[in-house]
Amino acid sequence: MNVKILADSASDLSTKHYNEFDIEMVSLTVHLNEKEYEDGKTISPKSVYDAMREGKSPKTSQVSPQTFKTIFTSYAEANQPLVYIAFSSELSGTYQTGKMMEQEVKEKYPDAPIHVIDTKCASIGYGLVVLRAAELANTGASAAEIIEMATYHAKHMEHIFTVDDLEYLYRGGRVSKTAAFVGSLLKIKPILHVDDGKLVPLEKVRGSKKLLGRIVEIMEERGTDLHNQVIGISHGDDIERAENLAEMIKEKFNPKEIVIEMVGSAIGAHAGPGTIALFFLNDEYK
């Protein structure tokens, strides 16, 4: 019985990925126009971005404890190994809820082969960790081997990204009002990264023309063995810039593969339209 991989919707993987690799997915909740939606299932990222462009402020909430409990119980009863690879604990309470429900289910089924790991990653950076784990699971690897590989990829995953408007990150409590105001005024584009699961400003670039070039330079500075990697790019409804970035990367590093996806509704509700994010490993690809 192969190990089953569970991910949450903040991995920003497409339905194609879930089907191809037989990955199970749980949704974070998006609150918009006084309605609740399941990220990745009952709301499209485009509708979230359009609402934000109209000045609306969607909110998000974590996966419910009951959802985890139901899934974990079904795997415990079947005695099927399950590895839940979770969205960064620094950006959502979903990992903590999953961990809590794992412990609760194990009170009744102490030998249940259920494992919950915190990637400290987000969007397609997190999605790439999930895909690598799912590839291994499909070859019949053990839970221990999958956890070791996922932990390695998560630890070495770089997230380099920029947002089109700092106002969205301000609304989500990620930057100060002054930074948001000054940035918008001076046409300063921030480059941020994820450090130990948290969003951290890296540097500022004036004008969007220099932006992608600088992101590629940072990739060269931080990346290792880039031609041998699967690179991830996610975008907030800006496929043109995402494809421009992919072309620059192909030209310079010629990686094994580039996965491009839209930033999903849950993460997009905080980052906003125009976000461009790049993901690669700062150590060799395993």
Tracing tokens 């905080």 back to the chain, one arrives at: 270
What pLDDT sits at residue 268?
95
Task: Give the β-pairing of 114-118 and 82-86.
Answer: parallel
- This prediction's pTM: 0.94
- Using one digit for the tens of pLDDT, what is the confidence trace for 81-106? 999 999 999 999 999 999 999 999 99
Segment 133-188, tens digit of pLDDT: 999 999 999 999 999 999 999 999 999 999 887 777 767 665 666 666 665 666 77
Question: Which band of pLDDT confidence, cut at 50, 70 and 90, is reported for residue 37?
Answer: very high
Total residue count of the chain as it appears in this document? 286
Q: Residue 96 burial (CB < 10 Å; 0-12/13-18/19+)?
A: middle
pLDDT in tens, 64-86: 999 999 999 999 999 999 999 99
pLDDT, residue 178, reads 63
Residue 23, amino acid: I
Express each pLDDT in 110-140 by its tens digit.
999 999 999 999 999 999 999 999 999 999 9
